[in-house]
Amino acid sequence: MVLAIVETLSALTAPLRAPKPKDWTAAERDVRDGFHAGDLIVAAPAWADPVMRMHLGDLIPIPTAGRMDAARFSRIWEIDQRGARAPEARGGRVVLERHHGALTVRQIERAAANVSYDFLARWNDAQVSRVDASGTALPCPYQGDRFQCPQIGFNYVRRQLVEVDTALRWALLAQPVERARVVIEFPAVVLGREIAIATGLSNVWMRKAGKGPVDLTVAIDGKPALHVTTLNESGWLISHVDTAARAGQTAAVRFEVSSPAPYARHFAFAAEARS
């Protein structure tokens, strides 16, 4: 009987506990008042993100919405409800906290990574080629919006929004091809303490259709530094290469993408050299 009463009351009052438009308007005002270019705005729980973007989406560039991770952001605005907290805001110092009905706005400051080289922002600096099993390299020139390799239409490298693990990411799409390696080399990368590399398979239909693994090898000045195998289940996996010993130096960083079963393998990656 107690359960029946509790459940009834819960059903009747639950709609009242949800954030109202005026709560969002007030939260929006707080964020706009204190927002600086380069700040990150997040919603918690993450499923509230579209509502947050409806109010503040004009302050969120597409690359920020599809960010590799939140390491480079020192100021984060978190709008939360129901006691949830955003993982992006973890470990920071709350410098402002305001409550608006069912919403809480927090401004969080924290030590951010200093990005010495953003491979996505500098993707036009890359030299792309396809290297076949005999070692012959075919250059893939930049054409319009992509590096297009010869003869195979889908064999290109392009910066675009991709869906990995049902989330949107701003990344380089580089599909592997049969019996060859797709090579993307950045000749002059300013190294930091590490290179963070995120990898994943786009998109949901391709993950349904294909099963093959995709191998990514990263070499710095010709020396292998990382090997990652990406599977359908890998999600958006972030790996780290320690470059602390060479921080501040300039080096060539080479990414090689290959797969023993490249059917429907829309491999995507993003990377940053960081201190």
Partner 1 sequence: MSWPASPVKRDRLIALVLGIATVGWLLVAEKSEGFGRDEGQYMRAGERYWGWFEELADNIKHRAAARSFSQAGIDRYWGDNAPDHPVIMKTLYGLSWRAFHRCTCMGPARGLHPIPVRGRHITLPLFARDSTAFRFPAMLFSGLLIAMVYLLARRFVPRPAAAAGAVLALAQPHYFFHAPIACFDAPITTMAFAVGFAYWKSLRSAAWGIGCGAVWGIALGTKHNAWFMPVFLAAHYVWMRRDDILRRHRPPRIPLAFVSMAALGPLIFFAHWPWLWPAPMARVHMYFNRHLQHEHYNFEYLGINWNNPPTDLAHKLIRTTFPFVSTSLTVPVTTLALAIWGAVVLLRRRRGAAVVEGGAPEAAPDGARPSWLRPGADVDRAPGAFLATQIFGPLCLLAVPSTPIFGGVKHFMPAMPFLAVAAAIGVAALTRVVAAQVRDLSRPRVLRALPAALALLVCLPAVAETERSQPDGLSHYNLLAGGFAGGASLGMNRQFWAYCVAPMLGWINDDHTDNRRMYWHDVLGDALHMYKREGRLDMAVGDTGAAEAGIQASAMGLLTWEKHWAIYEGWFWESYGTVKPAFVRDREGVPLVIGYKRNVR
List interacting residues with partner 1 (CB under 8 A): 1, 3-8, 10-12, 14-15, 17-19, 45, 47-48, 50-51, 53-54, 56-58, 60, 62, 65-66, 81-82, 84, 102, 160-163, 166-168, 202-204, 208
Q: How far is the CB of 158 from partner 1 (least distance, A)?
A: 12
Other beta carbons within 10 Å of 100? 19
CB 17, min distance to partner 1, A: 8
Quick count: other Cβ atoms within 10 Å of Cβ 55?
A: 19
Can you tell me whether residue 27 is helix, strand or coil? helix
37/245 with CB nearer partner 1: 37
DSSP 6-47: HHHHHHHHHHHHSPPHHHHHHHHHHHHHH--TT-EEEEESGG
Q: Residue 163 or residue 256: which is nearer to partner 1 going by CB?
A: 163
Q: What is the dihedral of CA 92, 101, 50, 231, to 10 degrees?
A: 50
Q: How far is the CB of 193 from partner 1 (least distance, A)?
A: 31
Instruction: Give the containing element (helix H, strand E) for 269.
Output: strand 266-274
Q: Which is nearer to partner 1, 15 or 135 (CB)?
A: 15
Q: Are 170 and 120 in contact (CB under 8 A)?
A: yes
Toward partner 1, which CB reaches closer, 10 or 136? 10
* Min separation Cβ 45 and partner 1, Å: 5
